[in-house]
Amino acid sequence: MFNMNEIVGSHDILMITLDTLRYDAAVMEEANCPNLCGGGPWEKRHTPGSFTYAAHHAFFGGFLPTPATTHKSEHVRLFHSKNTGFNVHPYTWQFDSTDIVSGLQAEGYRTICIGGVIFFTKKVPLARVLPGYFQESYWRMNFGVTNPRSTEHQVNHAIKLLHNYEKTERLFLFMNISAIHGPNHYFVPGAKKDSVETQRAALRYVDGELGRLFQAFRERERPVFCMAFSDHGTAFGEDGYNGHRLAHEVVWNVPYREFIL
Ligand SMILES: [Zn+2]
């Protein structure tokens, strides 16, 4: 794992949630995702929340998806709240704040949220809570789940912002990708409903768009630490279940990767 005490302060930090991406769908597309998987395969993890709102509160509190292994000693966390009395691994970065976003802000980071799914729209008070963690937050209609080119619009917006910031400024950019969340049947011509197949097609589309974002980050002065993972999966009829916000292994198992750009 990376030593987060060497990362925080010296690197830009990019966190991408691939909303609703199932672990099995992600694994089947590894060979077709050169941007997300160019450096290695997905790691199987368990999410702390079965839907967007719950999972993201945990993430921002420093609780990223947990390795899906029974070897507890391998569960080294990237982030941990300071002064809790727990033993903390020397590679874990400790924040003296309510959450990692304000914790990184206190370390001199500009914190930016590019929203995707409904909990980031800022249209009602509830949908302003998660963006409210950040100094700057953005959502446009064409970033949302109904737009077949949502990732293109999200990435374009992020790149435009990157060009406005000083190259030396520390950035923590969070992006919630909406394209893999339903509806995604339109990524397979002729498909009438969402399925593992249409989710896989959505993921291939997303990976293709992320290349431009990664390139824009590489052109900045600092190296970039990137975390990319799903907030939860979703059921397509397994054991009679449909959707998420329910306890089923297709919801709890999520793909996770961390890498340097
Ligand atoms: Zn979600």
Q: What domain range includes position 210?
A: 4-66+93-260
Lookup: tokens for 236: 């397509």
- Domain assignment present for residue 175? The answer is yes
**Ligand 1 mean position to 47 CA, how many Å?**
11
Domain membership flag for residue 86: no
pLDDT at 260 over 90: yes
State the distance from the centre of ligand 1 to the C-alpha of 132, rounded, in angstroms. Answer: 17
CB neighbourhood size of 5 (10 A): 13
Coil, strand or helix: which one is 257? strand
Segment 95-137, tens digit of pLDDT: 999 999 999 999 999 999 999 999 999 999 999 999 999 999 9
3-state secondary structure of 70: coil
Secondary structure E strands in the chain? 12-18, 43-46, 66-67, 79-81, 93-95, 110-114, 136-138, 171-177, 224-229, 235-236, 242-243, 253-260
Spatial distance between the Cα atoms of 208 and 167, rounded to a whole number of angstroms:
25
Each residue's pLDDT tens digit, 133-159:
999 999 999 999 999 999 999 999 999
The enclosing domain of 252 has a CATH number of 3.40.720.10
Phi-psi region of 41 (alpha: psi -120 to 50; beta: other; left: phi over 0): beta
Task: Report how far ligand 1's centroid is from the alpha carbon of 184 (Å).
Answer: 14
Token representation of residue 100: 């990692």
The answer to the question of residue 12 being in a domain is: yes
Cα of 20 from ligand 1 centre, angstroms: 5
Q: How far is the CA of 119 from the centre of ligand 1 (A)?
A: 9
Is the model's pLDDT at 73 over the cut of 90? no
Neighbour order of strands in the sheet with 66-67: 66-67, 43-46, 253-260, 224-229, 12-18, 171-177, 110-114, 136-138
Judge whether 159 and 151 are in contact, CB under 8 Å. no
Q: Is residue 78 part of a domain?
A: no
74, pLDDT greater than 90: no
Rounded to the nearest angstrom, the distance between the alpha carbon of 15 and the centre of ligand 1 is 14
Distance 99 CA to ligand 1 centre (A): 19
Distance 218 CA to ligand 1 centre (A): 27
- Decide if 87 is inside a domain: no
pLDDT 10s digits, 153-195: 999 999 999 999 999 999 999 999 999 999 999 999 999 999 9
Residue 247 located in a structural domain:
yes
pLDDT greater than 90 at residue 94? yes
DSSP output for 96-118: SSSSHHHHHHHTT-EEEEE--SG
Residue 36 · residue 230 · CB < 8 Å: no
Task: Say whether the peptide bond before residue 183 is cis (omega within 30 degrees of 0).
Answer: yes
Cα(252) to centroid(ligand 1), Å: 12
Q: In whole angstroms, what is the distance from residue 23 CA to residue 236 CA?
A: 13
pLDDT at 102: 98
CB 233 within 8 A of CB 21: yes
The tally of domains found in the chain comes to: 1
Reading phi first (left if > 0) and then psi (alpha if -120 to 50, else beta), residue 52 is in: alpha
Whole-number Å distance, alpha carbon 52 to ligand 1 midpoint, is 3
What's the pLDDT at 1? Answer: 85
Domain-located, residue 173: yes
**Ligand 1 center to residue 16 CA distance, Å?**
12
In a domain, 76, yes or no: no
